[in-house]
Amino acid sequence: MKHSNISIFIPHIGCPHQCSFCNQRTISGKQHAPSGDEVQQICTSALAEAKSPENSEIAFFGGSFTAIPHEYMMGLLEAVQPFIGVGKFRGIRISTRPDCINNDVLSLLKTYGVTSIELGAQSMSDKVLEANERGHSAADVEKASRLIREYGFELGLQMMVGLYKSSGDDEWETMEKIVEIHPDTVRIYPVVILKGTKLAEIYESGEYELFCGSYEKCGFDDVIEAVAVMMETFEKNGIKVIKCGLHASEFVERDMIGGFYHPAFREICEGHIYRRRMENIITEDYIGKTLVFAVNPSCISKAMGHKKANAEYFGKSGITIKIIGDENIPKYKVELRR
């Protein structure tokens, strides 16, 4: 059964930093910090509608949960207690900063039924972390990840692609170090430059060079290509990619001034993975022919590409593709049938 989250957004009150890219109020689309009563109302309706609550977590997203004022954090944890346990939600999911994790915090979260902790790692290069005013180091990510594991929580890491001063080498190093840490899940966020952030100022000053050269030279397709490789690498190493690209939102669309946003970012990346897999099979001998590729049944539309982009792409070379489903084929694998 598919996992789902009951998402509750907490704005970044109490967060000790203002990272270069963060305008958390825009990302969460809210400015209001929910009270315990409001959280209980959300959970009551979600539980009444949930088909399999045992596969769902109450998720506090948006800010740095363990950095919000202690009393407020305790109030939220208390408020959701009646909604977790047998016949109710599986547990609590939180996201926080690597330097806001220690033994005391983890013991407390354990007592309150927190099951999963996601860390905003963003980059594993200290140079990039510093340039983007994260206020923690790559070693902090490694240490916090180790502790989270020791306490038996599910671990998630979030990374960003294309941060200020991040080179191509920094991006691949971040991917490799995350593979080494081996979290259960990963979220990949290509950078989106939002109004009102430090990144917007740097971008507007013309000083901002994205990872593969100048901003003009690094197009959307290059980022898709890079993120597609990252997705494949994580999945191949048994790390689930639970998010790719910022959540589709009218607030982000309104406030973005640059970077890589698309409401179907993940679908486009997955279409790209399938395109490359098919390209590896296709030779010149196939021009003018119709080729039937088999993929996992859940991936038929991914293999066709976003808005059938792959069918169109191969069509330009005189190749018609047909995609069929086969339960025996794993995700991202492709077989030519005829």
Smallest distance from ligand SF4 to CB 32, Å: 16
Q: Are 55 and 90 in contact (CB under 8 A)?
A: yes
**H runs (alpha helix) in the chain:** 24-28, 36-49, 70-80, 103-111, 126-131, 138-150, 168-181, 198-205, 220-236, 250-255, 265-281, 300-304, 309-315
Residue from 18, 40, 167, 301 binding ligand SF4 (CB under 6 A): 18
* CB closer to ligand SF4 out of 34 and 113: 34
Please choose, out of 18-26, 161-169, 273-281, 312-320, the segment that lies near ligand SF4 by the rule CB under 6 A. Answer: 18-26
- Give yes or no for residue 158 binding ligand SF4 (CB under 6 A): no
**Would you count residue 17 as binding ligand SF4 (CB under 6 A)?**
yes
> Binding ligand SF4 by CB under 6 A: which of 10, 22, 58, 161?
22
305 binds ligand SF4 (CB under 6 A): no
Per-residue x/- mask for ligand SF4, residues 82 to 121, rule CB under 6 A? Answer: ---------------x----------------------x-
Shortest Cβ 317–ligand SF4 spacing (Å): 43
Q: Is 19 in the site for ligand SF4 (CB under 6 A)?
A: yes
102-106 contacts at long range (C-beta below 8 A, 24 or more positions apart): 102/147, 103/147, 105/66, 106/147, 106/148, 106/151, 106/153
Binding mask 45-74 for ligand SF4 (x = CB under 6 A): ------------------xx----------
Helix axes 168-181, 220-236, angle to 10 degrees: 20
Query: Shortest gap between Cβ of 100 and ligand SF4 (angstroms)?
Result: 8
Cβ partners under 8 Å of residue 42, min gap 6: 6, 8, 34
CB 298 within 8 A of CB 285: no
Q: How many residues bind ligand SF4 (CB under 6 A)?
A: 11
Q: Which residue, among 116, 110, 122, has the nearest Cα to 190 in the 3D structure? A: 122
CB 286 to ligand SF4: min, Å: 47
Phi-psi region of 45 (alpha: psi -120 to 50; beta: other; left: phi over 0): alpha
Options 15, 230, 295, 303; binder of ligand SF4; rule CB under 6 A: 15
Q: Does 223 bind ligand SF4 (CB under 6 A)?
A: no
Radius of gyration of the chain (CA): 21
Residue 291 CA to residue 301 CA, distance in Å, equals 16
Binding site for ligand SF4 (CB under 6 A): 12, 15, 17-19, 22, 24, 63-64, 97, 120
